[in-house]
Every structure is written in structure tokens, then in C-alpha cells.
């Protein structure tokens, strides 16, 4: 039988290079869903990628003094590393600078133009560059962007427009009638009341004031508006508008477009209108999740939290981060992140509940049955209660995952884990082990515990990508035994007796929270120092880039360079790097010049040497000494430094040039 397909997408990411755990949220939740569906037997296609055109990226790259594509390539590599680190199981990564995508965007634009849904006019209005969004004056809030609150620019350009207004009724009907389309349900009223009912206006879909974008095929001084370019990725990635449309035929329409709540407007109004204009089926669901906040602030630069996913994963494990993200952002609402809640959750759920259960049970199987899982011998009411809960887990979790309620899904699984811990206390294996009769009963108890651990590990696989495999290893479960897939957790009591357990290492070491919070503060301090140094370096680069602009001879002639002879030289007190020299530059009196070369030259090295001096530099005070010029040196990228000297002795004051 042909597998049912499931096409799930994240938004494509701006290559900003500023990744924090909030930005990973959409990708992690999609990954858990994609993995869940794969395990259910669906033929899954999980798409992610990068949104690389637009004024914002062009400006960022320019500020780094780098060619745009080159800059983005570096950032995209970093992003892919991040997704690998987080075990994101995407099937395709699309870049909007991929040639096939650009060509398909042009085809789509042409098609809409030929159909009369795109027309030429002039745009006059407000543009928010960070959001790449157009606004009318009445939509602004206190004259600023209603989405991000930042400054907007008044823009006046000849532009192409998409007839969004033509689709007003159809879009309204879509949101009102198809209750499944836009989720969670609260978003429906938000879109209807704030955008649709007040009247959809035609959308400006081309720009001429910059050129980093897909060129409009029939008018190349225009580039396609970046949101049109970006939204169409969901179909061009499948080959739409290209030579091979097989994937498109197979997977479109998307089952879920997942995104943060701030970009629902684009996905639930503009995107369906474009698809309607192209006569294509609409996605089945647009899901706008809440944000991960940091002490109730959306921005990452907040108040003493480690938000760098690389650091968190390295120190606490990928699963700890994935668990937090999936558990702590409630259905459709915002979640909060603090170092402390993160550590507490890791301790309570992963180390205490799950980790302890596994180590207690494997230790008991080792101690009482030489490490071999025993076969059950009976089934009493306490057993039945545990078994019923374990068997209910899969259908309950599936129902939650169908509604994208990962926190409740995890809660259901951890209730079973907690129940198993309680079951140990109720059954008191250490007492059972003392009598022959008790040892018979103990076989059932330990079998039930191992089976519960197995079942919970199976269903944890889409959420935690590393721990379940470790647990299977501890239980002696190998691939191919049919004990790790969803079919094996429908009924309790798989054939695991006879398997040899291996207690091995703790899954999650318990963390001393007070101590660790201090370590986290130190890490943050170190990060701040590094970021400051990096920012300084970047500033210097930009400054250098400015000075490195070509200059005419008239500019060069403004600099007076002369050969000087060092007459005297001494160290500047309390300044490790500075030497103060008296240098004869052919004038009445020698000049006093302070130079930062003490690490490379001693005063003795300097006396008698000839150097090149910038003689018309404004005097500057260094450590209270007025320096009347500058001695030229060469410095390599390792910071090694050498004085520039004439290669034979010349008269002091000779002009250099
Ligand atoms: N490029 C657009 C999307 C175009 S899709 C056709 C974009 N990119 S983004 O990089 O800004 O955002 C990517 C995803 O990260 C979005 O779903 C966004 O909501 C999500 N998040 C960024 N910060 C977030 C949090 N702090 N919390 C949760 N998700 C957030 O928008």
C-alpha cells in the first residue's frame, strides 16, 4: 500500500547569523513532528532553508565590507552546523539564491503578470526594512512599524502590484469556513479583525531602490519583493516551475506550514492569495506558534541567560535543550527561558524521573537476575494499572501530536515514567528479593519496569534524539528486533525477557543548581568579553575598509613623511608598550615622539637608527607626553612588528615620497 505523505515546512531563515535558542524553536518542533510522522509510517518531506534576498541582508553584508553572496555562504554553513547539532532531520534545505528557485520565481511572477494579477503602478508608503514589510500610514503605531516597533522609511518607487484585493472574499471565506486552516484558533480572529475585514489592499511586489533579489523577468530594473520570493520556496523546493515537478505532484499541498506568530499574516493571507492566483491547492494548515521569551523579553540579548544553542548543547546535551523547547512553550502561547528553569527541568524530568528510573531498574536486574530481564509470572491490580497507563500512552500522545501539542505529549510520557517510579516504591523489590516467593513476584515487577522503560523510550525518539538509543543499549535491545518502532508499543508485554541489560553510565548527571548558575554567569561574562573584542575588531575592519578606499595623489601629498634619526630613547613609566624618542628630522630641535613598540625594540635598539616619521600629524598626548609625529612600522596579521628604515643612511629630514 502506498504510504500517506506528510509535507511539513519551517519558514526559511534570514541569514542574520544571530542564532539563539528562540530561533531554533520552529525547527525543533517541526523536527519532532516530522520524526513522529515518519515513525507512524508516513512518507515525510521536511523542508527548511534560508531567505537570502532583500534590502536587510544587502545592508548587513555591506556593513561587513563583504560581497553579499560570500557573506551569506558563511552564515548558511553556520546555520547548517546548528541544525546538525540539534539533530534536525530535514529532507531538503532550500536557499533562495539557488538558481532553480530564482528561475521558478521569475516564472511565477510572469504567470501572475500574464494573468493580469500583477500590474505596474507607483508605490508611496512606509517600509520597515528589518521586517521587509510595507505599511500604510494608518497602520503605523506612533509612526513606527506595528510589528517590531522600529523606524520605518518613507518610500516612493515605481512598482508592480499584486491584486490582493481581488482575493478579499475568498480569503475571508477560507479563514471563516475552514477552521482547520489557521491554527491555533485565536489567530483566526486576529487576522480577520486586524487585516482582512478592514479591507485587503493590493500589495507592492517589486522594488527598484536596491538590486539584491530576483529580477522581474520583463523589467529587470525591478527585483521581486522578498516575501513573494520567500513564500514561493514552499513550492519551488518541490520543483514547481522547474524541469522536474515529480516531488511537487507528490507532496503538494503542504500538510503544515509552521511559523512564529509574527509572520502568520504573510502565510495566511498573502500566500493563499498567490496560490489562488496560480490555481494551486492551498496548504492544509498554517500554524503560528508562540515565542520563546527570555525573562519575558523576545530578544536574546537579555538579562543573564545563556541563549547560545552551541554552548547549551555542549554543556548539558542536545536532548536537554530539545526537551526544554518542546516542553516549555505551551500550545500557541509564549514560553519563557531562564538558566534556572532550564537546569531545574533537566534535573527533575531527565535526571530524576527518567535517568533514575533507568539506573534503578537496570541495577536491580543486574543485582537480582545477573543482568538478564526475567519473564513475568503473574499480573495483579498494581501491574494492571501500570500496564493500562503504558498502553494508553501511544494513542494519547498521537492525538496531542496531531494538534501539535508537544508539551502535553511529553507530559503524557513522563506521567508513565513517574508512575513507574511510584510502582517501584509500591512493589518494594528490595523486600521481595529476600524470599523465594518474593523473587517470583520480583520477576514480574522487573519485567514490567523494563517494558515500561522500553515503551517510553520508543515514543520519546521523535523528541529526544540521543537518550532513547542509549536506553535501548542498556536494555540489550538491538536494531532489527522490532522493539523500537511504534507498532511495538501498541500492546504491553513485548518479548524482552532474556535480554541482557548493561547498567553503564548515568544518562543525566544531576546538576548542583546553585553552583552551575555561577558557572553560567562566568560563561556569560566570558561571552560578553569575547563579543566586545569581536565588535571592536569588526569596527576596525570597517574603519580600515573606509581608509582603504582609493585616494588620489592630492590626498597622498597631504601626508608629510621624513627620514629621522633617533638621538635618544627611553621607556615611558608605567606604560609597558611605549617608548619615547628624541628624533632629528632636520629641524632646529629634535621632535619628541611616543611609539607603541616597547615589546619589539629596546631603547638601546633605537638610538642611532634611522626611521620614517609622519611629520605633519596633529600632536597628541600619550601618558601626559606630547607626541609630535608618528614613526612608521609594518605589522603582520600575527601582530609581529618591524620598523621601516631607509636601506642606506641618508640625511635626517630627507623627504620620503
Ligand atoms: N525569513 C522569514 C520567513 C520567510 S518564510 C517564507 C523569517 N525568518 S526569521 O529568521 O526571522 O524567523 C525564522 C523563524 O524563527 C520564525 O518562525 C520565527 O518566528 C522564529 N523565531 C525567531 N525568534 C523566535 C523566538 N524567540 N521564539 C520562537 N520562535 C522565534 O521570519
pLDDT surpasses 80 at 275 = yes
Q: Give the lowest-confidence range in 232-236, 483-487, 585-589.
A: 585-589
Pair 253, 148: CB distance under 8 Å: no
pLDDT over 90, % of the chain:
79
Quick one: average pLDDT of 139-161?
89
Give residues with Cβ within 8 angstroms of 509, minimum separation 6. 351
State how far the Cα of 621 lies from the Cα of 71, in Å rounded to an integer.
40
Q: If residue 186 lies in a helix (H) or strand (E), which one and from where to where?
A: helix 186-191
Cα distance from N-terminal residue to C-terminal residue, the chain: 83
Closest by alpha carbon to 2, among 40, 43, 47? Answer: 43
> What spacing in Å lies between the alpha carbon of 596 and ligand 1's midpoint?
47
Closest by alpha carbon to 132, among 62, 203, 69, 189? Answer: 203
Centroid of chain to Cα 83: 8
Residue 268: exposure state from Cβ atoms within 10 A (0-12, 13-18, ≥19):
buried
Q: Please, which pLDDT band fits residue 65 given cuts at 50, 70 and 90?
A: confident
DSSP code for 647: S
Task: Say what the pLDDT of residue 527 is.
Answer: 85
Q: Please, which pLDDT band fits residue 544 given cuts at 50, 70 and 90?
A: low
Strands (DSSP E) contained in 290-396 are 292-294, 335-337
For 7-60, the pLDDT digits (tens) are 999 999 999 888 899 999 999 999 999 999 999 999 999 999 999 999 888 888
| Cell numbers placing 642 | 618591524
Nearest CA to ligand 1 atom 28: 291
pLDDT surpasses 60 at 301 = no
For 508-542, the pLDDT digits (tens) are 999 999 999 999 999 999 988 888 888 787 677 65
Atom of ligand 1 nearest to the CA of 259: 17
Strands (DSSP E) contained in 328-468 are 335-337
pLDDT surpasses 50 at 547 = no
For 344-402, the pLDDT digits (tens) are 999 999 999 999 999 999 999 999 999 999 999 999 999 999 999 999 999 999 999 99
Q: Please, which pLDDT band fits residue 543 given cuts at 50, 70 and 90?
A: low
Q: List, in sequence order, the alpha helices (H) in 94-167.
A: 99-115
Give residues with Cβ within 8 angstroms of 29, minimum separation 6. 258, 289, 325, 326, 329, 404, 406
Higher pLDDT, 6 or 503: 6
State how far the Cα of 561 lies from the Cα of 585, in Å rounded to an integer.
10
Q: How many CA atoms lie within 13 A of 397 on its CB side?
A: 31
Q: Determine the residue of 48, 263, 324 to mutate for testing ligand 1's pocket, defined as the one with the most ligand atoms within 8 A of the Cβ atom.
A: 263
Ligand 1 proximity of 231 Cβ (cutoff 6 Å): yes
Task: Say what the pLDDT of residue 367 is.
Answer: 97
Total-model pTM = 0.81
Ligand 1 proximity of 14 Cβ (cutoff 6 Å): yes
Closest by alpha carbon to 406, among 356, 333, 455? Answer: 333
Cα dist from 585 to 173, 194, 569, 593, 626, whole Å? 85, 74, 15, 11, 17
For 598-619, the pLDDT digits (tens) are 989 999 999 999 999 999 998 8
Pairing of strands 182-183, 286-289: parallel
State how far the Cα of 522 lies from the Cα of 311, in Å rounded to an integer.
13
Task: Say what the pLDDT of residue 189 is.
Answer: 94
Ligand 1 proximity of 11 Cβ (cutoff 6 Å): yes
> What spacing in Å lies between the alpha carbon of 470 and ligand 1's midpoint?
32
> What spacing in Å lies between the alpha carbon of 326 and ligand 1's midpoint?
16
Q: If residue 518 lies in a helix (H) or strand (E), which one and from where to where?
A: helix 513-547
Closest by alpha carbon to 591, among 572, 563, 571, 559? Answer: 563
Task: Say what the pLDDT of residue 305 is.
Answer: 87
Ligand 1 proximity of 291 Cβ (cutoff 6 Å): yes
Q: Determine the residue of 260, 296, 305 to mutate for testing ligand 1's pocket, defined as the one with the most ligand atoms within 8 A of the Cβ atom.
A: 260
Atom of ligand 1 nearest to the CA of 234: 6
pLDDT surpasses 60 at 548 = no
Quick one: average pLDDT of 471-489?
97
Q: What are phi and psi of 237, to 5 degrees?
A: -60, -25
Nearest CA to ligand 1 atom 16: 260
> What spacing in Å lies between the alpha carbon of 300 and ligand 1's midpoint?
13
Cα dist from 645 to 424, 590, 609, 610, 642, whole Å? 83, 18, 8, 6, 9
State how far the Cα of 350 lies from the Cα of 353, in Å rounded to an integer.
6
Task: Say what the pLDDT of residue 541 is.
Answer: 61
> What spacing in Å lies between the alpha carbon of 23 and ligand 1's midpoint?
6
State how far the Cα of 610 lies from the Cα of 218, in Å rounded to an integer.
65
Ligand 1 proximity of 234 Cβ (cutoff 6 Å): no
Task: Say what the pLDDT of residue 365 is.
Answer: 98
For 160-191, the pLDDT digits (tens) are 999 999 999 999 999 999 999 999 999 999 99
Task: Say what the pLDDT of residue 302 is.
Answer: 53
Amino acid at each position: 500500500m502506498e504510504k500517506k505523505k506528510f509535507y511539513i515546512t519551517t519558514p526559511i531563515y534570514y541569514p542574520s547569523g544571530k542564532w539563539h535558542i528562540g530561533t531554533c524553536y520552529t525547527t525543533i518542533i517541526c523536527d519532532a513532528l516530522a520524526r513522529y510522522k515518519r515513525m507512524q509510517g508516513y512518507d515525510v518531506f521536511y523542508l527548511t532553508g534560508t531567505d537570502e534576498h532583500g534590502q536587510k541582508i544587502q545592508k548587513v553584508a555591506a556593513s561587513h565590507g563583504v560581497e553579499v553572496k560570500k557573506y551569506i555562504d558563511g552564515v548558511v554553513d553556520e546555520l547548517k552546523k546548528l541544525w546538525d547539532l540539534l539533530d534536525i532531520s530535514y529532507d531538503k534545505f532550500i536557499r533562495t539564491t539557488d538558481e532553480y528557485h530564482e528561475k521558478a520565481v521569475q516564472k511565477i511572477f510572469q504567470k501572475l503578470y500574464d494573468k493580469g494579477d500583477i500590474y505596474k503602478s507607483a508605490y508611496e508608503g512606509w517600509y520597515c526594512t528589518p521586517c521587509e514589510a510595507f505599511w500604510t500610514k494608518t497602520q503605523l503605531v506612533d509612526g513606527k512599524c506595528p510589528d517590531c516597533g522600529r523606524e520605518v522609511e518613507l518610500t516612493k518607487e515605481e512598482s508592480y502590484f499584486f491584486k490582493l484585493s481581488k482575493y478579499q472574499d475568498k480569503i475571508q471565506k477560507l479563514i471563516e469556513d475552514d477552521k482547520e486552516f489557521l491554527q491555533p484558533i485565536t489567530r483566526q480572529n486576529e487576522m480577520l479583525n486586524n487585516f482582512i475585514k478592514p479591507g485587503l489592499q493590493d500589495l507592492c511586489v517589486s522594488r527598484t531602490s536596491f538590486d539584491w533579489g530576483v529580477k522581474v523577468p520583463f523589467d529587470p530594473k525591478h527585483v521581486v519583493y522578498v516575501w513573494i520570493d520567500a513564500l514561493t520556496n514552499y513550492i519551488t523546493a518541490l520543483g514547481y516551475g522547474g524541469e522536474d515537478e515529480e516531488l511537487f505532484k507528490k507532496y503538494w499541498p503542504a500538510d503544515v506550514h509552521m511559523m512564529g506568530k509574527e509572520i502568520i499574516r504573510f502565510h495566511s493571507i498573502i500566500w493563499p492569495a498567490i496560490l489562488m492566483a496560480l490555481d494551486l491547492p492551498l496548504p492544509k494548515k498554517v500554524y503560528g506558534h508562540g515565542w520563546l521569551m527570555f525573562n519575558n523579553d523576545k530578544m536574546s540579548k537579555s538579562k543573564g541567560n545563556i541563549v547560545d544553542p552551541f554552548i547549551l548543547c555542549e554543556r548539558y546535551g542536545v536532548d536537554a535543550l530539545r526537551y526544554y523547547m518542546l516542553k516549555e512553550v505551551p500550545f500557541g502561547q509564549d514560553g519563557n527561558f531562564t538558566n534556572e528553569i532550564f537546569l531545574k527541568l533537566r534535573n527533575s524530568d531527565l535526571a530524576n524521573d527518567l535517568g533514575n528510573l533507568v539506573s534503578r531498574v537496570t541495577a536491580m536486574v543486574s543485582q537480582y537476575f545477573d543482568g538478564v530481564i526475567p519473564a513475568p509470572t503473574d499480573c495483579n491490580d498494581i501491574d494492571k494499572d501500570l500496564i493500562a497507563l503504558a498502553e494508553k500512552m501511544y494513542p494519547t500522545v498521537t492525538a496531542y501530536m496531531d494538534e501539535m501539542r508537544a508539551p502535553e505529549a511529553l507530559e503524557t510520557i513522563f506521567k508513565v515514567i513517574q508512575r513507574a517510579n511510584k510502582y517501584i516504591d509500591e512493589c518494594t523489590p528490595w523486600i521481595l528479593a529476600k524470599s523465594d516467593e518474593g523473587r517470583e513476584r520480583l520477576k514480574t515487577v522487573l519485567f514490567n519496569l523494563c517494558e515500561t522503560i522500553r515503551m517510553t523510550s520508543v515514543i520519546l525518539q521523535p523528541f529526544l534524539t540521543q537518550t532513547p538509543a542509549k536506553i535501548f543499549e542498556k536494555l540489550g535491545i538491538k536494531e532489527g528486533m522490532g522493539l523500537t518502532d511504534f507498532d511495538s508499543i501498541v500492546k504491553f508485554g513485548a518479548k524482552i525477557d532474556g535480554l541482557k541489560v548493561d547498567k553503564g553510565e548515568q544518562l543525566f548527571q544531576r546538576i548542583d543548581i546553585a553552583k552551575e548558575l555561577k558557572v553560567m554567569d562566568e560563561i556569560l561574562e566570558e561571552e560578553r568579553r569575547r563579543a566586545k573584542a569581536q565588535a571592536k575588531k569588526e569596527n576596525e575592519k570597517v574603519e580600515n575598509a573606509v581608509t582603504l578606499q582609493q585616494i588620489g595623489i592630492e590626498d597622498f601629498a597631504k601626508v608629510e613623511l621624513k627620514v629621522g634619526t633617533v638621538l635618544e630613547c627611553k621607556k615611558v613609566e608605567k606604560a609597558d608598550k611605549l617608548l619615547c624618542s628624541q628624533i632629528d628630522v632636520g629641524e632646529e630641535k629634535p621632535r619628541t615622539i611616543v611609539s607603541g613598540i616597547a615589546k619589539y625594540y629596546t631603547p638601546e635598539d633605537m638610538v642611532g637608527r634611522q626611521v620614517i616619521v609622519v611629520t605633519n600629524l596633529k600632536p597628541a598626548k600619550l601618558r601626559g607626553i606630547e607626541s609630535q609625529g608618528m614613526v612608521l612600522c609594518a605589522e603582520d596579521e600575527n601582530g609581529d612588528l618591524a620598523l621601516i628604515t631607509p636601506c642606506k643612511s641618508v640625511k635626517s629630514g630627507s623627504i620620503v615620497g
